[in-house]
Amino acid sequence: MKKLTMILSSLVLAFGLSACASDYVMTTNTGQIIISHGKPVLDKETGMTSYVDQDGNEHQIKSDEISEMVEK
Protein backbone atom coordinates (compact mmCIF):
# COMPACT_ATOMS: atom_id res chain seq x y z
CA MET A 1 0.00 0.00 0.00
CA LYS A 2 2.85 2.37 0.86
CA LYS A 3 4.52 1.67 -2.47
CA LEU A 4 1.32 2.40 -4.41
CA THR A 5 0.85 5.70 -2.59
CA MET A 6 4.44 6.66 -3.39
CA ILE A 7 4.01 5.87 -7.08
CA LEU A 8 0.74 7.81 -7.33
CA SER A 9 2.27 10.79 -5.54
CA SER A 10 5.21 10.78 -7.94
CA LEU A 11 2.91 10.69 -10.97
CA VAL A 12 0.79 13.56 -9.68
CA LEU A 13 3.92 15.63 -9.00
CA ALA A 14 5.34 14.89 -12.47
CA PHE A 15 2.13 15.91 -14.23
CA GLY A 16 1.83 19.01 -12.07
CA LEU A 17 5.34 20.19 -12.89
CA SER A 18 4.94 19.56 -16.60
CA ALA A 19 1.83 21.76 -16.68
CA CYS A 20 3.75 24.75 -15.27
CA ALA A 21 5.51 25.60 -18.53
CA SER A 22 3.31 27.71 -20.77
CA ASP A 23 3.66 28.07 -24.50
CA TYR A 24 4.28 31.51 -26.01
CA VAL A 25 3.40 32.72 -29.48
CA MET A 26 5.81 35.19 -31.09
CA THR A 27 5.07 37.07 -34.28
CA THR A 28 7.96 38.49 -36.28
CA ASN A 29 8.02 41.69 -38.31
CA THR A 30 7.74 39.56 -41.47
CA GLY A 31 4.59 37.81 -40.22
CA GLN A 32 6.21 34.51 -39.25
CA ILE A 33 4.58 32.84 -36.23
CA ILE A 34 6.87 31.08 -33.76
CA ILE A 35 5.54 28.93 -30.92
CA SER A 36 7.93 28.41 -28.02
CA HIS A 37 7.67 25.97 -25.14
CA GLY A 38 8.22 28.04 -22.03
CA LYS A 39 8.91 31.75 -21.79
CA PRO A 40 11.56 33.09 -24.20
CA VAL A 41 14.59 34.68 -22.54
CA LEU A 42 15.97 38.06 -23.62
CA ASP A 43 19.75 38.58 -23.47
CA LYS A 44 20.17 42.36 -23.21
CA GLU A 45 23.91 42.21 -23.95
CA THR A 46 23.51 40.51 -27.32
CA GLY A 47 19.99 41.68 -28.18
CA MET A 48 18.95 38.10 -28.87
CA THR A 49 15.91 36.22 -27.60
CA SER A 50 16.40 32.51 -26.88
CA TYR A 51 13.52 30.05 -26.97
CA VAL A 52 12.83 26.33 -27.12
CA ASP A 53 10.52 25.14 -29.89
CA GLN A 54 7.88 22.46 -29.46
CA ASP A 55 10.34 19.75 -30.52
CA GLY A 56 12.75 20.74 -27.74
CA ASN A 57 15.32 22.47 -29.98
CA GLU A 58 16.85 25.73 -28.76
CA HIS A 59 16.83 28.74 -31.12
CA GLN A 60 17.75 32.43 -31.05
CA ILE A 61 16.22 35.38 -32.87
CA LYS A 62 17.09 39.06 -32.84
CA SER A 63 14.79 40.75 -30.35
CA ASP A 64 14.07 43.67 -32.67
CA GLU A 65 12.62 41.21 -35.21
CA ILE A 66 9.83 40.23 -32.76
CA SER A 67 6.75 42.41 -33.12
CA GLU A 68 4.52 40.64 -30.58
CA MET A 69 4.83 37.99 -27.87
CA VAL A 70 1.82 36.56 -26.01
CA GLU A 71 1.28 33.67 -23.65
CA LYS A 72 -0.80 30.94 -25.25
For the chain, the average pLDDT equals 84
With CA atoms as reference, report the closest residue to 51 among 61, 40, 62: 40
For the stretch 48-71, pLDDT in tens is: 999 999 899 999 999 999 999 999
CB atoms within 10 A of CB 49: 21
Identify residue 67 by its one-letter amino acid code. Answer: S
Nearest-angstrom CA–CA distance, 6 and 21? 24
Query: Which CATH number among 3.40.50.800, 2.30.30.100, 3.40.50.1980, 3.40.50.410 corresponds to the domain 22-71?
Result: 2.30.30.100
Full-model pTM: 0.68
CB atoms within 10 A of CB 50: 14
Once rounded to an integer, what is the mean pLDDT over residues 6-11? 59
Domain spans in the chain, listed from the N-terminal domain onward: 22-71
Phi, psi of 5 (to 5 degrees): -65, -40
